[in-house]
Structure 1
Amino acid sequence: MDTVIVLFNRDLRVHDHPALAAACADACRVVPLFVADSRMPAGHRASFLAECLADLRGSLRDRGGDLVVRQGDPVVETVRLACELPAQAVYVSADVGALAQRRERRLAEECRRHRMGLRTFPGVTVVPPDELRPSGGGDHYRVFTPYWRVWSGQRRREVLKPPDKVPVPEGLEGGPLPVAGHGPNGLFPGGETVARTRMRQWLKYCVEDYAAGHDDLAGNRTSRLSPYLRAGCLSPLELESLAVNGDDFVRQLCWRDFFHQVTRAFPRINRDDYRSRGQRWHDDEDAAQAWKEGRTGVPIVDAGMRQLLAEGWMHNRARMVTASFLVRRLRVDWRVGAGHFFDLLLDGEVPNNYGNWQWVAGTGNDTRPNRVVNPVRQARRFDPEGEYIRRYLPELDGVPTKLIYEPWRMPTRIRGYPAPLVPMD
């Protein structure tokens, strides 16, 4: 073929990128394309994405290519550019959410109409979402443990090297990158270059200690690679292949794949109960807003929510505690909390975010749907010195450690800190 467009979305890298590698092998000219549409993120996420795209453009230019950026509807702009070049085909990494599946169907229809080819490739997960099927029937695994057993033994595709050269058409204008209105996020600078450095450091120094330390709230001993997986700055397959001493960490990558295959089969996971159990939710906007702002009066919950606001990220253990408090204690609909997380988290992606929220709410894939997390017990166990709580709740600096988890037991109220929204005894 003469020209192929590679449409980037959640795969902002050049290492182990099957669509890009195939295009460079199949075509004389390759056009890497990113389309910024009306759903572009804001705040920390906008800054992170802008840095990811700038880094991707730099990597492509190092290989003689460029990143072409257009504004508008991804399908319309892709087909418009393909007709202008002209291009014979569009290559894209397959995704699983409802929006992604609709976009892929629309793109397939438009490519057929314009007599262009469309090829989809793996790359967003370790194992493609539709590759594993239960032996007893059904289109996906509904319980994690059987999936984990089959997933662990599944043969992997080859991890691909980045192309040596990306031959773009002469004279093609790259276009301006999206401009982030929010300042750079120092905790999570975006891009594949930073991601690969972090990955190497994590695998060299930390992964073997993952099982012992990943629940330590104050210790920050998780990998913090999830934002880079969400944006596709890292290949999950390459990460798994390199984590040879990290079985517990690899299990988390399997959980990510598990929710992707669930979402592939149930794309409305962000809207509808996966398993409706007749829950009756409270329509309490004041309580939901207090939860979002970290003003529930329960320190471990408020610390987690304020970390989210400040950093665009939250420790995994804190995510479970804050989510459980909203749905189990306040009885607020899981969609309210999941939507808030999705809007703010740098690693917020439909399968993991909504799959985990439904797991906590008892409407998803949890085999114990009535599970309730006690926030005080969680705080005492995973933040034994109260360091995590004090880090994000400076108004509790003077509170004795034995009361840092339950300040409502103090003889006098703490100035500026609210009483619990619901009874905690």
Structure 2
Amino acid sequence: MASKPQDSQNPDTQPQDQQTQIIPFTSITLSLPKHLPIHFIPPPTLSPNTPKLPTFIKLPTQITSIFNLSITHSISKPSKSIPKSITSKTPLLNPLPITPNLPTDPSNAAALRRASVVLFRSDLRVNDNESLISANNESISVLPVYCFDVSECRNSKLGFLIESVKDLRRNLQARGSDLIVRVGKPETVLVELVKEVKADGVYMHREVSNDEVKGEQKIESVLKVEGVEVKCYWGSTLYHVDDLPFKLEDIPMDYGGFREKVKGVKVRSVVEVVDRLKGLPAGGNVDPGEIPSLADLGLDPVSDMTRVKPVNKSTLIGGETEALNRLKRFATEFQGQPPKETKDGNNDSIYGANFSCKISPWLAMGCVSPRAVFDELKKSTSRTISASSNGKDGDDSGMNWLMYELLWRDFFRFVTRKYSSSKQHNKAPVTA
């Protein structure tokens, strides 16, 4: 109660307090009006000794060009417009998303893997190779690798395999990459290379045989210890395993039942290869290695068992390049053949034993995918329809038998994978 009279009797105290409240405003404004509204700031009663407050404040030109603030009697509501820095076209000024971009988003370089390894197995191709393209899209650098496992090399196809690996290296080099070749167990070689280039991901295709499945399990086991993720893809069949209308363990054990089940399933589009692949990791100077010869692998180069048996006395050259050339030649021959009808009216003649795609050795080695074969023949089939339909609709000559052969191949590979990846002992016989 005594403080109020004391404040009223001491007029110098009130101006000092009000003076203190005004100073912060002058520090953040460019100018102050001479007459402020009474309801906003009460006019102080200044003592004769109080220094006169400056009406204007001079600031450097650089600051005045940035700020243009003033105090008014009304308080404006904050603008809802987005700050200019957020809407800038400069990527570095864009706001960060609430959730980070996935590694598959090429625009987010920070989320990409530092280095990845692509292990080629029975997929010696760059076209329609999902593991290669996925690694290329999700990584800053990619290290393609092939391992010659002598314990699994068969004399009857080793020469064809060596030619296919050479062609794969040439195709990778033409796209700015290379192929690292080693002789040894894949799980051992991969651990060494992963440590050397500090890779954090390994990409590969899954296979179907029992030995191949065991090899996958060994690779996944040793890389798990190293903290390296293994990403596996499916690409050895016409129909993708994930598109089947049943679980793999529930596959019909007769071809007729399988064929009925997969009716209506669409064949996925081929995975297009890019013109320029990511380069090799710069962290380690990895020696590409020499592709071994038959003698290097301890085999007799002149043995007849080291060659694939020729078809119709023609020389078979391994590799994706030869496979695609043969496929195009077959498509041209297929397009030029006139339609032939069987007794039941179906155009499914294969024009004799010599009229065949003869692509099986390259399919087995993965130099070309079943989807690529189907895609090329489908293109040629559409041209045949326009040239020889004569206003009639129906199946094109040769397409039925080709689909028949590819479906048989799918059926056996799916059944093989079923029993290779399971511990079933009561195996039902496979029938037609």
TM-score class, shorter: 0.5 to 0.7
Q: Does 1:88 align with 2:200?
A: yes
1:105 aligns with 217
Q: Does 1:75 align with 2:75?
A: no
Classify 1:120/1:79 alpha carbon distance in 2 versus 1 (closer, same or farther; 3 Å).
same
Q: Tell me the alpha carbon deviations over residues 342-397 of structure 1, each in whole angstroms, 9 at most, x when there is no partner.
A: xxxxxxxxxxxxxxxxxxxxx5323xxxxxxxxxxxxxxxxxxxxxxxxxxxxxxx
Classify 1:103/1:40 alpha carbon distance in 2 versus 1 (closer, same or farther; 3 Å).
closer
RMSD: 2.7
Residues 41-52 of structure 1 aligned to structure 2 (within 5 Å): 41-52=153-164
Of 156, 159, 170, the residue aligned with 1:58 is 170
Is the 2:243–2:265 Cα contact (8 Å) retained in structure 1? no
Measured after TM superposition, the shift of residue 273 of structure 1 is 9.1
Measured after TM superposition, the shift of residue 55 of structure 1 is 0.3
Measured after TM superposition, the shift of residue 84 of structure 1 is 1.5
Of 212, 219, 224, the residue aligned with 2:349 is 212
Classify 1:12/1:228 alpha carbon distance in 2 versus 1 (closer, same or farther; 3 Å).
same
Runs of 4+ with deviation above 6 angstroms: 207-210
Measured after TM superposition, the shift of residue 41 of structure 1 is 3.2
Q: Tell me the alpha carbon deviations over residues 154-201 of structure 1, each in whole angstroms, 9 at most, x when there is no partner.
A: 133331111222211243211111213536766211000000000011
State the secondary structure of the residue aligned to 2:150. Answer: coil
Residues 272-351 of structure 1 aligned to structure 2 (within 5 Å): 274-275=427-428
Measured after TM superposition, the shift of residue 21 of structure 1 is 0.4
1:119 aligns with 231
2:372 aligns with 238
Of 175, 188, 191, the residue aligned with 2:289 is 175
Measured after TM superposition, the shift of residue 131 of structure 1 is 4.1
Measured after TM superposition, the shift of residue 43 of structure 1 is 4.1
Measured after TM superposition, the shift of residue 262 of structure 1 is 0.5
Question: How many pairs were matched up?
Answer: 274
Q: For structure 1, which runs of at least 5 residues remain unmatched after alignment?
A: 276-362, 367-425
State the secondary structure of the residue aligned to 2:375. Answer: helix
Measured after TM superposition, the shift of residue 134 of structure 1 is 4.1
Separation in 1 of the partners of 2:201 and 2:214?
19
State the secondary structure of the residue aligned to 2:349. Answer: helix
Is the 1:191–1:233 Cα contact (8 Å) retained in structure 2? yes
State the secondary structure of the residue aligned to 1:32. Answer: strand
Considering fraction of residues, name the structure with more helix: 1
Is the 1:143–1:365 Cα contact (8 Å) retained in structure 2? yes
Indicate the structure (1 or 2) with the bigger Cα radius of gyration.
2
Is the 1:16–1:162 Cα contact (8 Å) retained in structure 2? yes
Is the 2:349–2:401 Cα contact (8 Å) retained in structure 1? no
2:29 aligns with none
State the secondary structure of the residue aligned to 2:219. Answer: helix
Letter in 2 for 1:200: K
State the secondary structure of the residue aligned to 1:39. Answer: helix
Of 1, 23, 31, the residue aligned with 2:135 is 23
Q: For structure 2, which runs of at least 5 residues remain unmatched after alignment?
A: 1-112, 295-299, 309-313, 340-346, 382-398
Measured after TM superposition, the shift of residue 133 of structure 1 is 4.6
Measured after TM superposition, the shift of residue 66 of structure 1 is 0.7
Is the 2:240–2:267 Cα contact (8 Å) retained in structure 1? no
Give TM-score scaled by structure 1 length: 0.59
